[in-house]
Amino acid sequence: MTLTRRQWLKGAGTLTAASMLPWPLRASQSELPLIHLQARESTAAWLDTPTPVWSYAQPTLRLRQGVAQRIRVTNHLPEPTTVHWHGLRVANAMDGVSGLTQAPIEPGESFDYEVMSPDAGTFWFHSHHNTIEQLARGLYGALIVSGDNEPDFEQDWPLLIDDWRLTKNGRIDPAFASLHTQAHGGRMGNVLTINHRLGPWQGRARSGDRVRLRLVNSATNRILQLRAEFPSALVLAKDGQPLTSPEPLPDVFILGPGERLDLGWLANETGQLMEVSGRKPLVVARVEVEPGGEAGIPRYPGVMALPVNPMPEVSADVTQTVPLKMEGGAMGRLESARYEGETMAFRELVDQGQVWALSGQVGLPEEPLFRARQGETVALQLDNRTSFPHTLHWHGHHVWADDRWQDSLTVTRGQTKTVRMVAGGPGKWLIHCHMIDHQATGMMTWFEVV
C-alpha cells in the first residue's frame, strides 16, 4: 500500500506511536524521483593557494516532507565512502553507516539511497566511512526538508559552520588522528568556513523580512560558542524539530558537532553572529538590513512558529532504563573497559589507540547496548564522568531532553541527565559522540529495534 503524504499526515494524529512511523511507506524504486550526488575531489579558493578538499558536487539537498526520494551517490573519491542522513528517520538500511548498515561504496561505484523524511526541518548529510578524515576533508552538505504548512520566510539561509585545520601552505593538515588530541577535546581548526566558503558569511534582508537562519555545526570536534547579535531573534527548532513554542534566543549559546538550531528573526537592524570559543571572537555571519520591506503586512514573532512534526508519543511507562556512561580520555580515571570481546586496562586500550568508553564498552560491541521493541519508550541515564564535554548523537531517533526533541545533545563534564526515546524503525542504530576524534577512539555503541 502506498499512502500519499496527505493521507499519511492526516492519519498520523490517530495512529499509535509504532504504526505512525514511516517504514512501511515504500514506493517502487522506479517511480521515485532521482537526485544525483557525487562525492569527488575538488579545490577551495580560501587562501592564496587553492586548498584540495573532498566535497559533494551538490552541497545542498532539498526534500519534501513525506515524499520518498532516491539519491544516487557516486563515489569519485580514491577510497570507499558512504552517506549518512543526519537526523532523518530513514529506514535502517538507508542510514549509511559503513560496516553496520551497509558495505561502503567502492571508488567508481554508486549506491541508491531511498529516503523519506516524516519530518520537515534542518538536517545535514555527511560521510560515515573513515569519518575522521572524510568529514575533515569536507564531505558534508545541507539537507533541507520542507513541509506544506510551514510559514513563509522572505529569507531562508542554511549556515553550515565548520573549522578546518590547514597547514601554512593551505593544505588540510594530514595528521587526522593524534591520540593525545583525541584524548582531549579533539582536533581544532584554524580556518572558519560557512557553507564551505571563508567566513564571515554575508546576507541581506529588508526590514520586516521574516528571516530563517538554519545553523548547523559541521565541524569535526569544535563545540561552537556563539554570540547572537540579532535583536529579538527566536529559537524555532532544534535538530530539525520545532519547539512547542518559539523561545527567545540566549545571547550566548553552544552548538556541538552535529547539532542544529533554526532561528527566526524579524529583520529590524543589522545583526551578526559571532563565534567566541577561540582566542579571538570571529564573525560567522552578518545580515545587513535595509529599510523598505513590504509595507502594510503586520508582522509579529508568532508568524514564524513552525508546525510540529509527527513525532511519537513519549510514554510515562518506561520499559527499560539504560545507563549511558561516558568514561575515559585524559584526566578520566578509566581503569578498564571491554574492547573487542576482552576486558582491557586503560594502558592496554591506549596501546590499541582507544581512550573512550560508553557504558564500559569501547568501540562497537558485539551485543547492543539495549534492545527495544518498536514503539517502546526507553529511558537513558546520561552520565558524563569524563573531564570533557561530549555531543552524543542518536541515529534514526531523537531523544526527548530539556523539553524538546534532539538527535544530538551536548553533555557537559560531570553532567548527568535522564532522557527518553521511543524506539523507531527496526534495525541497528548507532549512538556515538559526534566529536569525531572521540568516536574514532572508542566513544560509540549501538542499540537494536526489533
395 belongs to the binding site for ligand C2O (CB under 6 A): yes
* Least Cβ distance, residue 433 to Cu ion (angstroms): 3
By a kind-dependent CB cut-off of 5 to 8 A, residue 184 interacts, out of ligand C2O, Cu ion, none, with none
Cell (9 digits) for 27 = 514506493
398 belongs to the binding site for ligand C2O (CB under 6 A): no
By a kind-dependent CB cut-off of 5 to 8 A, residue 395 interacts, out of ligand C2O, Cu ion, none, with ligand C2O
Q: Which helix (H) or strand (E) holds 6?
A: helix 5-12
Q: Say how many C-beta atoms besides its own lie within 10 A of residue 8's C-beta.
A: 19
Beta strands at 197-198 and 444-449: parallel, antiparallel or unpaired:
unpaired
| Residue 317 phi, psi dihedral angles, 5° rounding | -85, 90
129 belongs to the binding site for ligand C2O (CB under 6 A): no
Rounded Cα distance, 286 and 227, in Å: 12
* Least Cβ distance, residue 86 to ligand C2O (angstroms): 4
Rounded Cα distance, 89 and 30, in Å: 22
Tell me whether residue 238 or residue 393 sits nearer to ligand C2O (CB atom): 393
By a kind-dependent CB cut-off of 5 to 8 A, residue 435 interacts, out of Cu ion, ligand C2O, none, with Cu ion
By a kind-dependent CB cut-off of 5 to 8 A, residue 128 interacts, out of Cu ion, ligand C2O, none, with ligand C2O
Q: Say how many C-beta atoms besides its own lie within 10 A of residue 312's C-beta.
A: 25
* Least Cβ distance, residue 438 to Cu ion (angstroms): 3
By a kind-dependent CB cut-off of 5 to 8 A, residue 397 interacts, out of Cu ion, ligand C2O, none, with none
Beta strands at 408-411 and 390-394: parallel, antiparallel or unpaired:
antiparallel
By a kind-dependent CB cut-off of 5 to 8 A, residue 393 interacts, out of ligand C2O, Cu ion, none, with ligand C2O
Tell me whether residue 119 or residue 259 sits nearer to Cu ion (CB atom): 259
Rounded Cα distance, 284 and 191, in Å: 11
Rounded Cα distance, 287 and 371, in Å: 47
397 belongs to the binding site for ligand C2O (CB under 6 A): no
* Least Cβ distance, residue 124 to ligand C2O (angstroms): 7
Contact pattern from residue 244 through residue 283 relative to ligand C2O, giving x for each residue in contact according to CB under 6 A and a dash for the rest: --------------x-------------------------
For Cu ion, the binding residue among 84, 214, 390, 395 (CB under 5 A) is 390
C-alpha gyration radius of the chain:
21
By a kind-dependent CB cut-off of 5 to 8 A, residue 438 interacts, out of ligand C2O, Cu ion, none, with Cu ion
By a kind-dependent CB cut-off of 5 to 8 A, residue 433 interacts, out of Cu ion, ligand C2O, none, with Cu ion
**Residues of span 59-88 touching ligand C2O by CB under 6 A:** 84, 86
Rounded Cα distance, 110 and 139, in Å: 16
380 belongs to the binding site for Cu ion (CB under 5 A): no
Closest of 366, 325, 368 to residue 342, by C-alpha: 366
Tell me whether residue 51 or residue 218 sits nearer to ligand C2O (CB atom): 218
**Residues of span 330-369 touching Cu ion by CB under 5 A:** none
Beta bridge partners of 274: 227, 283
Contact pattern from residue 426 through residue 445 relative to ligand C2O, giving x for each residue in contact according to CB under 6 A and a dash for the rest: ----x-x-x-----------
Q: What's the maximum distance between 2 C-alpha atoms anywhere in the chain?
A: 70
Beta strands at 416-422 and 427-433: parallel, antiparallel or unpaired:
unpaired
Cis amide leading into 298 (omega within 30):
no
184 belongs to the binding site for Cu ion (CB under 5 A): no
| Whether the Cβ atoms of residue 92 and residue 177 lie closer than 8 Å to each other | no
Q: Say how many C-beta atoms besides its own lie within 10 A of residue 260's C-beta.
A: 28
Tell me whether residue 210 or residue 395 sits nearer to ligand C2O (CB atom): 395
| Whether the Cβ atoms of residue 255 and residue 159 lie closer than 8 Å to each other | no
433 belongs to the binding site for Cu ion (CB under 5 A): yes
**Residues of span 323-352 touching ligand C2O by CB under 6 A:** none
Task: Kindly state the DSSP code that residue 24 receives in the 8-state scheme.
Answer: T
Q: Say how many C-beta atoms besides its own lie within 10 A of residue 131's C-beta.
A: 23
Binding residues (CB under 6 A) for ligand C2O: these are: 84, 86, 126, 128, 258, 393, 395, 430, 432, 434
Binding residues (CB under 5 A) for Cu ion: these are: 390, 433, 435, 438
